[in-house]
Amino acid sequence: MEQQIVAQTLYGIPLNAYILLSAVLFSIGVLGVLYRRNIIIILMCIELMLNAVNLLMAAFGAFRGDSNGQIFVFFIMAVAAAEVAVGLAILVMIYRNTKNTDIDNMSKLKW
């Protein structure tokens, strides 16, 4: 009974709101990647981008009554976890060599 109420409330929010919310989240993620200088925060911003996509997929799936979108979300979550594992490993490797996590230190390669 309670679950039905929750579902009804969720469907009560129009699809456009979900699209807008994920677009805003995605943009915050993109801007974060472009403007922040700390590698850990950049990683979090990339996660934010992926989660914006997850939200959008789940919303489309729910509104279409189609499970494909929600299954795709699982794929994204699994792959993002693998990606972050590798990303943090790279981060640790860099921290061991340079003793900080500032991206401005990584500018040996240019023109």
- What residue ranges bind another protein (CB under 8 A)? 19, 22, 26, 29-30, 33, 39, 42, 46, 49-50, 52-53, 56-57, 60-61, 64, 66, 68-69, 72, 75-76, 79, 82-83, 86-87, 89-91, 93-94, 97-98, 103, 106-110
Kindly calculate the radius of gyration of the chain based on its CA atoms and give it in whole angstroms: 18
Rounded to 10 degrees, the C-alpha dihedral 17/20/26/30 comes to -160
Smallest gap from Cβ 17 to another protein, in A, equals 14
User: Which residue, 5 or 14, has its beta carbon nearer to another protein?
Assistant: 14
CB of 83 to another protein, least distance (A): 6
- Give whichever of 5 and 96 is closer to another protein, judged by the CB atom: 96
**Which is closer to another protein, CB of 5 or CB of 34?**
34
Report the nearest approach of another protein to the CB of residue 1 (Å): 30
Nearest residue to 15 (alpha-carbon basis) of 53, 45, 60: 60
